[in-house]
Amino acid sequence: MVNLPQTRNDTFNRRWKSSFGAPPEVCCELWNKIDPYKTMPAGVDPKHILWALLFLTVYDTEHNSAQRLGNVDEKTYRKWSELFVIAISYLECEVIVWDNRFLGDSGNKALVTLDGTDMPVEMKFAKEFMSHKFKGNGLKYEVGVCIATGHIVWVHGPSRAGESDITLARQAFVSFLNDNEMAVADSGYRGEFRSIKTPDKVHFRSGLEFYDAAVARARHETVNSRFKNNQVLVKRFRHSLAFHSACFRAVAVISQLIIENGEPLFDVQYSDEGRKV
């Protein structure tokens, strides 16, 4: 187990989070969930998880990051930061739980908001990877957020950024919905009338429900913004595409733990026609 520093103040917390992307409580929780002394190679040290968090938050060159850490050997920095990024990503099944969409369930038909987000990657031009959101090559991921709690309950991808959001949703998300269950999403998800409520009056009983769904979608954008506080998802990714998936999932895990540990999303009031039994 790793315990928090005994003496901390707002300045300490702010500087810590600017470097590592998460408050000290979340860093300790990550370490304890991974249990590195049992799961990592010999020589593991608590500082190594901070290297991984620095990697995700700043995404600088290995040379600059190693210098920032006090002339750490670049190969050593790369080894431990990558090991811990992967270890954090493996916590996805424990932290981001699809069944948690039922927490706070009031019987609504729509339990989650769904949205796709594109992330830039460094690669040769390929039309199928071209994102219309930033006019460059990228990967597309899908995130689902529980309407009642604001918790992240679904992560899927990557797919090629040139694919539509609805194409990605059809790969897995739609089949994971129960009978008579739907999601709320933007107009990019039109085409699955029975599964996804998009911003058209056909899907909503009243102007109030239409408005509440819009607020829920707007709140979802704050999740995307929190993800992009991590420069690894903003700068053009220079590592392998497989490792990008680990980085995205690690950021999702960290973001969910931050939500659970004192930085929740704003509340949303939403009520629809309800699920039929």
User: Residue 6 has what pLDDT?
Assistant: 56
C-alpha 74/C-alpha 51 separation (Å) is 11
For residue 126, pLDDT over 70 is answered with yes
Instruction: Specify the CATH number of the domain 10-90.
Output: 1.10.472
pLDDT tens, residue by residue, 9-59: 888 888 898 899 999 999 999 999 999 999 999 999 999 999 999 999 999
The pTM of the full predicted model, rounded to 2 decimals, is 0.94
C-alpha 192/C-alpha 209 separation (Å) is 19
pLDDT tens, residue by residue, 104-121: 999 999 999 999 999 999
Q: Which among 148, 162, 257 is positioned nearest to 212, based on CA atoms?
A: 148
Q: Which among 192, 200, 134, 135 is positioned nearest to 167, based on CA atoms?
A: 192
pLDDT tens, residue by residue, 52-97: 999 999 999 999 999 999 889 999 999 999 999 999 999 999 999 9
Which residues touch 88 (CB under 8 Å, ≥6 apart)?
30, 34, 52, 249, 250, 253, 254
Q: Which among 76, 48, 83, 42 is positioned nearest to 62, based on CA atoms?
A: 76
3-class SS of residue 220 = helix
For residue 214, pLDDT over 70 is answered with yes
For residue 221, pLDDT over 80 is answered with yes
DSSP label of 121: B
* Alpha helix stretches (DSSP H) within 90-206: 92-95, 165-171, 173-176
For residue 200, pLDDT over 90 is answered with no
Count of positions (residues) in the chain: 277
